[in-house]
Structure 1
Amino acid sequence: MTLLARKAVAELVGTAFLVAAVIGSGVMATRLSPDDVGLQLLQNSIATGAVLVALILALQPVSAAFNPVVTLIERVLGLLTTRAALVLVAAQLVGGVLGAVVANLMFELDAVSFATTERGGTGQWLGEVVATLGLVLVIFGSVRAGRVDSVAFAVGGYIAAGYWFTSSTSVANPAVTVARLFSDTFAGISPASVPMFVLMQLLGGVLALGLLLVLHPSDPRPTDAPAEEVSHG
């Protein structure tokens, strides 16, 4: 199997598990704490942050972005070829949908049920810009500071916190956003809400890239290290 194929499998599997954890823990939370939305969010955020740490630690040696924004920025920074970036983004999107279907089936729901939860408005859109900007800075800032081993914990902690300090509960991921429209559960996002969420996530990524180049203008990678062999969360 080629390196790109291995990366694609890692991105598909990792994104599938991430989405399954987001949706599955949301369903479990509503069943265990049906009358306490705050507790539901706490349970959902802890599960999501924890699974991110585990998945990145396990898959980082191959590829552990699980997020099209991160992959596109890797392309801009020269860490991936255009072909590789497109393949990995496709794998993330497919993995996300697969994770949503599996989560639905685990809890004996319809395999696919389109979400009806509307998420929008300037506050939540701004929340997604902030959430994605912060996530990208955490990831690439850690890498450019030479702290690759800390990425898993930094990302897991940031996303768990982002559930609480952003108005949008910090989705910060186009693949996860698209996947969540296929589950009419606690974590669902209605199809009509998806385009603006994705647009705001891309905007947050662009802003983060600009700030990253100001704060960390140099790349600590050895100059003779092939860019396509560098992978991170």
Structure 2
Amino acid sequence: MIPLFRRVLAEAVGTGLLVAVVVGSGIMAQRLSPDDVGLQLLENALATVFGLGVLIAVLGPVSGAHFNPVVSLADYWQGRRTGAGLSARELAFYVIAQIGGAIAGAVLANAMFAEPAISWAATERSASHLWLGEMVATAGLMLVIFGLVREGRTAVAPAAVAGYIGAAYWFTSSTSFANPAVTIGRAFSDTFAGIAPASVPAFIAAQLAGGVIGLLLVTGLFGRAPAGSQQEAVMTHPGQPSTDRTVRPAERTSGR
């Protein structure tokens, strides 16, 4: 059995490294291509795609590789029906670990590039079209994650989720944060990937709304998972012995 401590540690480390990838690659992109914002975004997106895919593949068997409070909340909510999701206590620990890891990841990225360890972002991202972009990005992320799980195609989850996030960098106006913890972390770096603290609450509200929309789409497209269903999962159940292949509903993937 995998103790809660190890699962929480995996969520903190995974979310921290994800934010370090996002922020660090943004800083590097600014320095390599100072006069081309489009190229900067491409470099940032590619690094995020590769980093996220690897983190999901490596840490998924430990914690499910949520790295995202919206995914953990959805796991808890759906588990109330199926009996296989996070408990309220586990959810609280996961979210705390994700937010703490995200902040630490931003500080780490700043330090690696000789930036101030904490520099509040000044990039304002407050507009209705950006909030709509976050709703779309998060709803799509939930559809990808839970859709794959419901169809039993979780083997492709690392590539599919990372690929979706990479695409959403380009087709959403907000460049697809799609993750409250990562959004909070990015407020701690006044660099390419930063978001002003005052813009964070509205982004998180849009992400939560997108999460609800995404779950409604999953239900509409794939139907409700029956009570007691064990098919909604990606990795081996972190709380069960390794010989038991039953797993949790959203123990699968995240979003940046």
**TM-score where L is the length of structure 2:** 0.87
* Contact 1:26/1:186 (<8 A) preserved: yes
Letter in 1 for 2:88: T
Letter in 1 for 2:78: L
What is aligned with 1:160? 166
CA drift at 1:4: 1.4
Letter in 1 for 2:118: V
1:48 paired with 2:48, answer yes
How far apart in 2 are the matches of 1:180 and 1:167? Answer: 17
* Contact 1:80/1:227 (<8 A) preserved: no
Aligned residues: 232
What is aligned with 2:230? 221
CA RMSD of aligned residues (A): 1.7
What is aligned with 1:34? 34
2:158 alignment partner, SS class: helix
The 5 A counterparts of 1:58-97 are 58-63=58-63, 64-78=65-79, 79-97=85-103
2:57 alignment partner, SS class: helix
CA drift at 1:211: 1.3
How far apart in 2 are the matches of 1:110 and 1:163? Answer: 26
How far apart in 2 are the matches of 1:226 and 1:105? Answer: 36
How far apart in 1 are the matches of 2:231 and 2:46? Answer: 36
How far apart in 1 are the matches of 2:201 and 2:32? Answer: 32
Identity %: 55
CA drift at 1:148: 1.2
Letter in 1 for 2:4: L
What is aligned with 1:187? 193
1:178 paired with 2:184, answer yes
**TM-score where L is the length of structure 1:** 0.95
Structure 2: gaps spanning 5 or more residues: 80-84, 240-246
Residues 206-215 or 60-69, more deviating: 206-215
1:99 paired with 2:119, answer no
